[in-house]
Amino acid sequence: MLTTRNVVVGTIGSDVHMIGAWVLTKYLESIGFKVKFLGAVVPQEEFIAAAIETKADAILVSSMYGMGLIDCEGLRDKCDAAGLGNIVLYAGGTVVAPRELETNWDEVQRRFVAMGFNKVFPNTVMPEDVGKALKVDLGIND
């Protein structure tokens, strides 16, 4: 089903790992999303500029090097300031140190939600699960 919804996907901060974001991009395209893929080492401002340019409904941020919590801090505030107050924000990957992912996932989720993210996913998430969640958060009915 075509959604005609636009999303921005990329790897935030100084992270060079982009395979997961690329796989997610290909999956989202296969279920009808229009995806602006930004690649790796993407500053917050580039995500926002791409979201404005494409009239995006969501920004999906990948981070695999364990610094996602730091790299994502302030993104919601910057989105709000740019007029993107209702945009859906997701983060996923190894967003904190692997040990913390394993032992304290509830706290990781709480911290991302407190920063204004709608959802955060661990590095074991399947693209289908992200797609389902995105459809729910965007009110897309199949």
Annotated catalytic residue: which of 15, 57, 80, 106? Answer: 15
Annotated catalytic residue: which of 17, 71, 129, 137? Answer: 17
Q: In what order do the strands lie in the sheet with 58-63?
A: 34-37, 6-11, 58-63, 88-93, 119-122
- Verify whether residue 106 is a known catalytic residue: no
Distance CA 123, CA 100 (A): 12
Return per-residue pLDDT of the chain as tens, 142 residues: 455 799 999 999 999 999 999 999 999 999 999 999 999 999 999 999 999 999 999 999 999 998 999 999 999 999 999 999 999 999 999 998 877 767 788 999 999 999 999 999 999 999 999 999 999 999 998 7
Length of the chain in residues, anyone?
142
- Verify whether residue 57 is a known catalytic residue: no
CATH topology of domain 6-134: Rossmann fold (3.40.50)
- pTM here? 0.94
H or E segment to which residue 107 belongs: helix 105-114
Q: Which DSSP symbol is given to 66? A: S
